[in-house]
Amino acid sequence: MPVRSSPSPAVRSPLRQQPTYAALDLGTNNCRLLIARPAQHGFRVVDAFSRIVRLGEGLSASGRLCETAMERAVEALKICRNKMEHRGVTRARLITTEACRAAANGVDFVRRVGREADLDLEIVDQRTEASLAVTGCASLAAPDANAVIVFDIGGGSTEIVWLGGRERGRDPASRIREWASLPIGVVSVAERYGGIDVGRETFERMVADCSEILRPFAQKAAAAHRARGFHLLGTSGTVTTVAGVHLKLPRYDRRQVDGLWMREADIMRVIDELVAMDYAQRQANTCIGRDRADLVLAGCAIFEAIRRAFPSPMVRIADRGLREGILLRMMHEDRAWRRRQ
């Protein structure tokens, strides 16, 4: 029986009475799983998994998911299925995003996952993806900010949201003033420009093209950066990598990155440093690594386009997003915290 994305229990275990939730995000580049149980101030993570699968490899050129990419994704999803069974997951939501939305064989791939990995993936629309990302990281917005631009740089698309001021008890998704799903991501931009030899000239062309795609949203949200307390809030591997390089971490550490405030000058310095690196140097950096060395500058170009459109002296870095948003939504629907009182 496939794991379902419905309110009914996903995997039953008579040995575990405490509800256990799973959120899975299969993106264009990564497969990520988070398993958690309700806790006093949100939830407690009991297991996690992340693997770069590059599901969208070659998609921009062919319009289809290729066989090797689908095989990588299915193998990662089988590991996720085993983890959910081992942890006694009682409810799950398993989503896939831009790669399956855009691919001509995206629905066929979802059916294949059901057969081979025994999981029921849900292809979510762009609005849902943006809303879940906001729900997952909005708690990091400054309490006194009347406007925040939240962005999630993915593998195949970038979700960007103008979030209004915080109100007590109000669902973050209800504060969305404008939103857009931009057809640019680290994989698609890197495939277009190349990710190995990227000098300053190529990088600036990337930024210019991303800025042009961003322009319609920037015009709609032009008033945001003039609001009191305005700042940017970024969630993605790109921004957490920039933060890790800034902190000179010997290895990536979520505890030091999630919630970090970065000044404009520090972000510019790190991006300049990354552009100046050659491919081997990017591979050797422990906060980038071999799997992301050809993608990080594409992500930085998207990040830079957003920063230029919405100038902000400070940017908050979030190592949280879609999966956390999924978990919080399910627990809220189940009134999980009320049951614990």
Summarize the confidence of residues 98-120 as an average pLDDT. 97
* CATH number, domain 140-322, options 3.30.420.150, 1.10.1060.10, 3.30.750.200, 3.30.559.10: 3.30.420.150
User: Model pTM?
Assistant: 0.90
- The pLDDT of residue 40 is 82
Which is it for strands 261-263 and 30-39: parallel, antiparallel or unpaired? unpaired
Secondary structure element (H or E) that encloses residue 266, with its range: helix 264-276
Q: What are 227's two structure tokens? A: 């609001």
The residue with tokens 């790109």 is 238
| Identity of residue 332 | H
Mean per-residue pLDDT of the chain: 92
- pLDDT at residue 166, as a whole number: 74
What sections of 93-236 are H helices per DSSP? 98-102, 106-116, 126-137, 186-193, 200-220
Q: Quote the CA–CA distance of 281 and 268 in Å, as a whole number.
A: 19
Rg of the chain over Cα atoms, rounded to whole angstroms, equals 19
Q: What is the pLDDT of residues 9-42, one digit of tens each?
A: 344 444 446 899 999 999 999 999 999 999 987 8
Question: What tokens does 139 get?
Answer: 């708690």
| Residue 294 clears pLDDT 70, i.e. is over it | yes
pLDDT at 237 over 60: yes
Reported as half-sphere exposure (CB side, CA atoms, 13 A), residue 191 has a value of: 17
**Phi, psi of 181, rounded to the nearest 5 degrees:** -110, 110
Comparing CA positions, the residue from 97, 278, 121 lying closest to residue 188 is 97
Fold (CATH) for 21-124? Nucleotidyltransferase; domain 5 (3.30.420)
Residue-range domain boundaries for the chain: 21-124, 140-322
